[in-house]
Amino acid sequence: MITAIIQARVGSTRLPNKVFAELSGKPLIWHVVERVRRSKRIEKIVLATTVNPMDDSLAEWANSHNVEVFRGSEEDVLSRYYQAALSSGASTIARITADDPFKDPEITDEVIDLCIEGELDFACNNNPPSFPEGLDAEIISMSALERAEREVQDPLDREHVTLHFYKHPEKFRQKNLSHSEDISFLRWTIDTEPDLEMARLVYKHLYKEDKIFLMNDILRLLESKPEIKDINMNVKRSVLFRKQDL
């Protein structure tokens, strides 16, 4: 079963409670889930949050919106991810982070196909990056995730679910999906107030309840209104192996 596991927690250090930040009348986490639901390949969605009482509100939200919840370690995110995958019966896992309101299900599906058709352990579209930050797609086979859970000892690697895969291409069969043009300078994720302001403006122009907008729709909007793009351009792109809020 192809399962999307959305890792999320309320206690973001840079922008607290951002999972419930409002975009077009809905919380950020709602939009993330709805975008994953538009995938043609993903069969199941699991929200993987922590056992910290702070995340009770997130678990309650998921339960009330028919999203399966798994709660695990706050620091050992690899263990949380593995246990969530195991409990859901996953054979292939799409890693989704909850601060990306522009996730493109068509791009995610392309990376899923790359992983499955190539019989890979891991597939992504950000090594090297060529898509806007926030459209990252990472797909992991269950057997590879099991191996990582079993072998990884470094606390930093356990904090970051996919770090071990990037560091050890010799151990895991992997490929990267590249965009035809390098537009990785564009920042479409939410870590700061300027990021949130930019996202709200994009949603104001493009969001419709009955239709999802995709990467090319956003690119056309930014071409016509470049001032939106400029709002958060001074926020540096995240380093792949940085400490993450999720």
- The type of residue at 44 is K
Span 147-206, pLDDT tens digits: 999 999 998 989 889 999 999 999 999 999 999 999 999 999 999 999 999 999 999 999
Indicate whether 62 belongs to any domain.
Answer: yes
In the chain, the number of structural domains is 1
Q: Which CATH number belongs to the domain containing residue 151 in this structure?
A: 3.90.550.10
Span 37-67, pLDDT tens digits: 999 999 999 999 999 999 999 999 999 999 9
What sections of the chain are H helices per DSSP? 28-37, 56-64, 77-88, 105-117, 142-151, 155-159, 163-167, 193-206, 215-224, 226-230
Reduced to 3 states (helix: H, G, I; strand: E, B; else coil), residue 174 is strand
C-beta of residue 133 within 8 angstroms of C-beta of residue 100: no
State the pLDDT at residue 13: 66
Indicate whether 212 belongs to any domain.
Answer: yes
Indicate whether 240 belongs to any domain.
Answer: no
Indicate whether 238 belongs to any domain.
Answer: no
Indicate whether 242 belongs to any domain.
Answer: no
The pTM (predicted TM-score) of the whole model is 0.92
Domain that holds residue 77: 2-230
Indicate whether 68 belongs to any domain.
Answer: yes
Indicate whether 226 belongs to any domain.
Answer: yes
